[in-house]
């Protein structure tokens, strides 16, 4: 087993190194300075396609092409990019692949939290050297953003609205002036061409730490939505499940496409508050019930089928995690789930196995 095969999840630039190399060889379009690929090739990398040299690029994102084009175009300007949407709409996934395709490096990442210190956005110090030698470049510990500025690469900032407001404002000068002052050394880091930031924020966190108007003006905001049609969501789920199954060594487990379609149907109906045929209005539970949760439920079902079943995913393998995903607050969500089981699944033809598997766990 090679070293890479023993890694649970490779960075995008490692996992798709062959595709990136093929795109680079076939890419004859103009590239912004320090970009690995041209903007049009970056879009092809995200959305998939067949190259003139015969190489096939698999889709990383299933959705509106114009959304990805706007995101890529933004990163070629002096504006930073903010990807927003409900949890599970592939914001982190898209930001990683954009960084991989543009910079060949998706690892310059800051995870936003309520306790984030501004040093993680700017720089810190090796305190042993600082005490022994005083402030010096050798004692400086650069943040991922500082490294991106120095190298002309893309930095990624996850969950921007979870970062305290005063720490958020550290970004204002950095994004507007493209400079990071280091007063202790009486110097500053000036960003090289190619530097930019991709931030993400989910709309469920609205009001946690609202962005100031000054900071928001430094970003172009792009909304990533949930899949519009059932078949589009089924395709996304089937593709991701296959990929994750390989990384989890569950590639021999069979997940019938019909069971994926039924699970996606349940999620979409509860999420949208109406059945797919438009005949029945429903109450929606408190959880997000996004595409990411569908994938998580199926992955758990694959593990159940592999280790405790016959290797084929059945409703019984999915029911327990599905129930836990829907019932986030016990009293209200449980009643909503029971009503859905009785008024929709119980009367639906050929859904008896699903109904019985789920009802037994409530």
Q: What is the pLDDT of residue 313?
A: 94
* For range 265-284, the mean pLDDT: 93
* pLDDT over 70 at 226, yes or no: yes
Q: What is the pLDDT of residue 204?
A: 74
Q: What is the pLDDT of residue 22?
A: 96
Would you say 306 and 314 are in contact if contact means Cβ atoms under 8 Å apart? no
Domains of the chain, by residue range, sit at 4-223, 230-359
CA dist 70 and 39 (Å) reads: 10
* For range 306-332, the mean pLDDT: 90
Would you say 181 and 121 are in contact if contact means Cβ atoms under 8 Å apart? no
Considering the chain, what is the average pLDDT of its residues? Answer: 91
Q: What is the pLDDT of residue 248?
A: 83
Q: What is the pLDDT of residue 205?
A: 65
Statement: 4-223 belongs to CATH 3.40.50.300 = yes
* pLDDT over 60 at 66, yes or no: yes
| Span between the terminal Cα atoms of the chain, in Å | 43
Q: What is the pLDDT of residue 304?
A: 94
Confidence class for position 324, pLDDT limits 50, 70, 90: very high
Q: What is the pLDDT of residue 2?
A: 53
Q: Which of 107, 85, 82 is nearest to 96 (CA)?
A: 107
Tell me, what DSSP letter sits at residue 279?
-
Residues 187-223: tens digit of each pLDDT: 999 999 999 999 999 887 655 678 888 999 999 999 9
Q: What is the pLDDT of residue 1?
A: 40
Q: What is the pLDDT of residue 267?
A: 95
CA dist 199 and 113 (Å) reads: 13
Q: What is the pLDDT of residue 260?
A: 96
């Amino acid at each position: 087993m090679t070293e890479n095969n023993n890694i649970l999840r490779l960075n995008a630039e490692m996992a798709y190194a062959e595709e990136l190399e093929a795109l680079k060889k076939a890419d004859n379009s103009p590239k912004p300075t320090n970009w690995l690929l041209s903007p049009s090739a970056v879009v092809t990398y995200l959305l998939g396609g067949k190259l003139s040299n015969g190489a096939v690029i698999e889709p990383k994102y299933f959705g509106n092409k114009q959304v990805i084009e706007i995101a890529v175009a933004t990163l070629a300007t002096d504006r930073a990019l903010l990807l927003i949407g409900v949890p599970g709409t592939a914001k982190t996934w898209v930001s990683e692949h954009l960084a991989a395709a543009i910079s060949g490096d998706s690892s310059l990442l800051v995870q936003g939290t309520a306790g984030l210190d501004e040093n993680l956005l700017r720089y810190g110090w090796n305190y042993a050297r600082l005490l022994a030698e005083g402030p010096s470049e050798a004692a400086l510990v650069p943040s991922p953003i500082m490294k991106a500025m120095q190298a002309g690469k893309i930095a990624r900032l996850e969950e921007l609205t979870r970062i305290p407001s005063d720490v958020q404002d550290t970004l204002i000068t950095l994004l507007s002036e493209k400079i990071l002052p280091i007063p202790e050394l009486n110097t500053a880091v000036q960003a090289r061409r190619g530097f930019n930031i991709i931030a993400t924020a989910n709309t469920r966190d609205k009001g946690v730490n609202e962005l100031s108007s000054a900071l928001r003006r430094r970003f172009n905001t792009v909304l990533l939505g949930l899949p519009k049609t059932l078949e589009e969501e089924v395709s996304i789920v089937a593709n991701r499940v296959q990929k994750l199954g390989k990384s989890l060594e569950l590639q021999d487990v069979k997940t019938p496409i019909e069971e994926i379609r039924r699970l996606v149907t349940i999620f979409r109906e509860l999420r949208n508050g109406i059945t797919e045929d438009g005949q029945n209005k429903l109450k929606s539970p408190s959880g997000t019930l996004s595409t990411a949760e569908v994938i998580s439920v199926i992955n758990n079902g694959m593990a159940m089928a592999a280790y405790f079943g016959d290797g084929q995913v059945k409703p019984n393998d999915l029911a327990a995690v599905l129930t836990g995903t829907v019932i986030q607050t016990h009293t209200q969500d449980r009643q909503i789930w029971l009503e859905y089981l009785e008024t929709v699944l119980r009367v639906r033809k050929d859904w008896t196995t699903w109904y019985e598997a789920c009802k037994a766990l409530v």
